[in-house]
Amino acid sequence: MSAFIVSDNHINVLVNFCARKNILFHFDDETINSNDRPDEIGQILLDENYKSVNNRYNENAISHKFKYNFYQKKDRAPIEIIKACRCLNYQSCESKNYYSSKAYEIINKIIYEAIDTIDGYEDADWEIK
């Protein structure tokens, strides 16, 4: 497997989705509101991505300070958000505790929220009989 650092724009698209949906992230020790602390959400994702790449290639690069850019040229379709999450997940999974990390929780919550916005989701049967 290869791994790379995703662009700040990639992370900005995900954080922008969080802010638009006003997603709350509940961790053991705190709750983070994506509208109030978008820079922090982005930094968590970026730091975990660096940690993964460092682990994969036995490097020691330090992540830069993430600065959320609230302006996006266009809103992304739910499938683009889901695929961007899967990309970041793949690039960030090389550290041994990734699956218990805040980044992993954030990515999965974004996917969960994006699924709810897919056309036809609300009209689909909840239970299949």
Do the Cβ atoms of 17 and 81 come closer than 8 Å? yes
Specify if 91 maps to a domain: yes
pLDDT in tens, 67-109: 999 877 678 999 999 999 999 999 999 999 999 999 999 999 9
Specify if 14 maps to a domain: yes
pLDDT in tens, 11-42: 999 999 999 999 999 999 899 999 999 999 99
Q: Which residue has the tokens 């709810």?
A: 116
Q: How many domains does the chain have?
A: 1
Domain span at 96: 8-115
* The two three-digit tokens of residue 56, written as one number: 């994969």
Number of other residues whose CB lies within 10 A of the CB of residue 4: 13
Specify if 23 maps to a domain: yes
Residue 2: the pLDDT is 86
Q: What is the distance between the alpha carbons of residues 109 and 76, in angstroms, rounded to a whole number?
A: 17
Specify if 1 maps to a domain: no
pTM for the model: 0.94
Specify if 82 maps to a domain: yes
Specify if 124 maps to a domain: no
Specify if 2 maps to a domain: no
Average pLDDT over residues 43-55: 98
Residue 73: the pLDDT is 67
Do the Cβ atoms of 114 and 108 come closer than 8 Å? no
- Cα–Cα–Cα angle for 30, 49, 72, rounded to 5 degrees: 80
Q: Which residue has the tokens 């790449």?
A: 53
* The two three-digit tokens of residue 44, written as one number: 């968590």
Specify if 126 maps to a domain: no
Q: What is the distance between the alpha carbons of residues 18 and 59, in angstroms, rounded to a whole number?
A: 31
Residues in the chain: 129
Amino acid found at 80: E
